[in-house]
Structure 1
């Protein structure tokens, strides 16, 4: 009698759901850090003076700097300890980041507030005067503040005239941002491979990645509204109380702790490396023009994406006299455009990556110019629709024809995330010097470079020719 054994394929539905939740969490945390800029400016930078915007955008610099600094370290850890341990470590680091955010708020209330209470009281007294003329007269009594107005004549804020003084809590907040970026460096390196490996009947790896990508984009869309309306209850300016983040952050810590507990109790699929890494390649990976220029293009793309998504709130508040919650709504519109664009992009399989990038970059460039000429922030919101296809299109073009160099090149391209650290803080410094509206020229330059790459830079100067082995 012959025995037959039915070997059923493992169903990783529960691990897949956890990975989708983690991708959504990654989108939320990335966006939360960006949207913390305006509340942090209001709470900590009352004495920021002429450097206020530069100091504010340093928050994103700290966050994305982690991708450049910690990327190689996270890669070595994953190679040595595996994906599951790396995933749990990343989540543990994220809990630490949350704790540091709360420590910053506590430190300000406990130690810094006495040093800034006089300036805060004076600023509140000035704003209570009502009319611009009355506020200017009140400010002139001490000369500590000057009144800022938009072109419309509406009040936009106060600028400290004394020496720049920063609270200890500000530096702790930047540390928290760097630690959060470190956590996401680990998480992004392991979650995507798990999405492919967590086989669920009736789905493909690409479908599972698309599902998780939708969750990620949804949370980046809701993030600005969550910060403005839930964490800070629609308050802005001197009304902001940074301790409002205690309860939401504690809830996020509990959520992450529950995920960690679940991960220790379930089986995750094994993920094997694609190559041994021992093969000696004849040329430098940098000899491929499509890769080296592609890295620069991703640097500009991530930079301009964060510039618009994060700094549109500061632009709306400081130049257009809009309330913080309306600025947050503009950011939500922008990220919503990315969500819609990614959904539409899934139906553009017959359109080449080069064509998609060319059209998207040209449209984005036109929209930036229109936003600057008309001073209408809604043109900036519309850019999200076209930014949605830039990352996958550029990534595809940069790896075109690399053959055996593909794995190494993929890791190099992730260095482009540093653009999200550098360009927003440069724009903040420009805003301090020439105003937010003109500072969007930096984004226009970035879009122009992306267009250049689509037109010419992506053309391979050479491709990898596999070695043909002959019998001895």
Structure 2
């Protein structure tokens, strides 16, 4: 009987894994789109990153309502609503190409952000439940996370290949194939899940209202500092490769195709880091892992800020030859770019480490704390946008001061801020 259940859940499991990847695919589309927006609408780097900001601000708006929706509607209905919203958001972005409208694009990015927020709440517990919990459930989550990294790797690469050279005619219409893929996957997922019978992840019931639980969670200093750590972490994860993509194209003069594959390497290194982190996670504490990665990341970013961009290194990327055929080869990029790509190895394990440290000892406040975490994912839009403002004032290289300060904060949190100093608060 158990074997039969597993067979019945195979297709929904595959769909959930694909949705895990689509979260990264749609989210990471916003940053490389910046180089198109800055050209098509002749706007500053900060304005070009407004799509990324709109995508992540949706988390701040939808985080808590999404948690309420899960409680009232359940995971399957919430997932279907999230997918439907995702289709609408991507379609609005598609319409912005034909209408030549920057505002319509921003609306589409904002709506798509709603979808990504809801899907983030759904896919982890659903995969765990579909796997039967325990080691099997955790394994499915790890598979989903790995596919998430793969899609994050492919997104800037696909945009780079489709855009080719930046010209006055470069526009959103150049990346229509990416939008077609997104809408197609969402539509297929909606149909499959509609006809699938799925178990609902167990949600622990409590007599206390959500507002009371949220206020209770905020009484813990280590949680408050950890929530802000999530805010800056997502900003680091998104801003490091996102601004680098603009830097390479707009200032260094590297072709978008090469730049896209260079920045895709960042997400590939995150995949490697996650696999390594998963393999040593039962032997090395979250505190040590976060301490080491934030310290190393800060050193890498500091070097990227002070080394001259005239120092060039060769990195393997996908290129087009004289007849337009694609193939791998070596491309010269500033050493600063290589150092920033290596930050991907550091950011790969930070989310789990921060989450584990921040929710330790919260007891009954854990669910409410998770909702607050989801709200603060909006840092992935706010910090890169601040970077964009600094670019206009002081240049791309100095803009990474935002990333450096953020990594120093994470180091502080790992060493000092993560300590639970409120053990006297009842959590049962």
Shared fold per TM-score greater than 0.5? yes
Instruction: Give the alignment of 1:92-103 within 5 angstroms.
Output: 92-103=84-95
Q: Distance in 2 between matches of 1:437 and 1:387?
A: 20
Shift in Å at residue 282 of structure 1? 12
Deviation digits for residues 223-270 of structure 1, max 9, x if unmatched? 1111111x32x2323242422233432343222212211111121112
1:16 to 13, 18, 24: 13
Per the alignment, residue 76 of structure 1 pairs with 68
Per the alignment, residue 38 of structure 2 pairs with 41
* Preserved contact between residue 404 and residue 466 of structure 1 (Cα < 8 Å): no
Q: Pick closer, same or farther for the CA change 1:201–1:459 going to 2, 3 Å.
A: closer
1:259 to 189, 192, 195: 189
Per the alignment, residue 397 of structure 2 pairs with 437
Q: Pick closer, same or farther for the CA change 1:465–1:73 going to 2, 3 Å.
A: closer
What TM-score do you get using the length of structure 2 for normalisation?
0.88
Aligned partner of residue 237 in structure 1, secondary structure: coil
Q: Distance in 1 between matches of 2:234 and 2:288?
A: 20
Q: Distance in 1 between matches of 2:424 and 2:204?
A: 18
Deviation digits for residues 78-107 of structure 1, max 9, x if unmatched? 222111111111111111112111110111
Q: Distance in 1 between matches of 2:425 and 2:172?
A: 57
Deviation digits for residues 81-136 of structure 1, max 9, x if unmatched? 1111111111111111121111101111xxxxxxxxxxxxxxxxxxxxxxxxxxxx
Q: Pick closer, same or farther for the CA change 1:201–1:182 going to 2, 3 Å.
A: closer
2:160 to 212, 225, 228: 228
Per the alignment, residue 25 of structure 1 pairs with 22
* Preserved contact between residue 34 and residue 45 of structure 2 (Cα < 8 Å): no
2:289 to 344, 356, 369: 356
Q: Distance in 2 between matches of 1:8 and 1:105?
A: 48
Shift in Å at residue 421 of structure 1? 1.6
Q: Distance in 2 between matches of 1:30 and 1:381?
A: 19
Q: Pick closer, same or farther for the CA change 1:254–1:275 going to 2, 3 Å.
A: same
Per the alignment, residue 328 of structure 2 pairs with none
Gaps of 5+ in 2: 310-335
Per the alignment, residue 350 of structure 2 pairs with 390
Matched length:
396
Shift in Å at residue 171 of structure 1? 0.8
Deviation digits for residues 436-455 of structure 1, max 9, x if unmatched? 11111111000110011111
What TM-score do you get using the length of structure 1 for normalisation?
0.80
Per the alignment, residue 227 of structure 2 pairs with 295
Q: Distance in 2 between matches of 1:202 and 1:292?
A: 29
Residue 183 of structure 1 pairs with residue 115 of structure 2: yes
Per the alignment, residue 461 of structure 1 pairs with 421
Per the alignment, residue 90 of structure 1 pairs with 82
Shift in Å at residue 194 of structure 1? 0.7
Gaps of 5+ in 1: 1-5, 109-168
* Preserved contact between residue 299 and residue 420 of structure 1 (Cα < 8 Å): yes
The farther-off stretch of 448-457 and 241-250 is 241-250
Instruction: Give the alignment of 1:212-361 within 5 angstroms.
Output: 212-229=144-161, 231-232=162-163, 234-278=164-208, 284-348=216-280, 349-361=282-294
Deviation digits for residues 367-416 of structure 1, max 9, x if unmatched? 00111111321100000001111111011000112122222212212222
Give the number of the structure whose alpha-carbon radius of gyration is greater. 1
Shift in Å at residue 466 of structure 1? 5.4
* Preserved contact between residue 92 and residue 108 of structure 2 (Cα < 8 Å): yes
**Superposed structure 1 runs of 4+ greater than 4 Å apart:** 6-9, 200-203, 279-283, 464-468
Deviation digits for residues 175-208 of structure 1, max 9, x if unmatched? 1110110111111111111101113699611111
Q: Pick closer, same or farther for the CA change 1:179–1:277 going to 2, 3 Å.
A: farther
* Preserved contact between residue 20 and residue 147 of structure 2 (Cα < 8 Å): yes
Q: Pick closer, same or farther for the CA change 1:243–1:208 going to 2, 3 Å.
A: same
* Preserved contact between residue 39 and residue 237 of structure 1 (Cα < 8 Å): no
Aligned partner of residue 284 in structure 1, secondary structure: helix
Q: Distance in 2 between matches of 1:201 and 1:359?
A: 31
* Preserved contact between residue 291 and residue 398 of structure 1 (Cα < 8 Å): yes
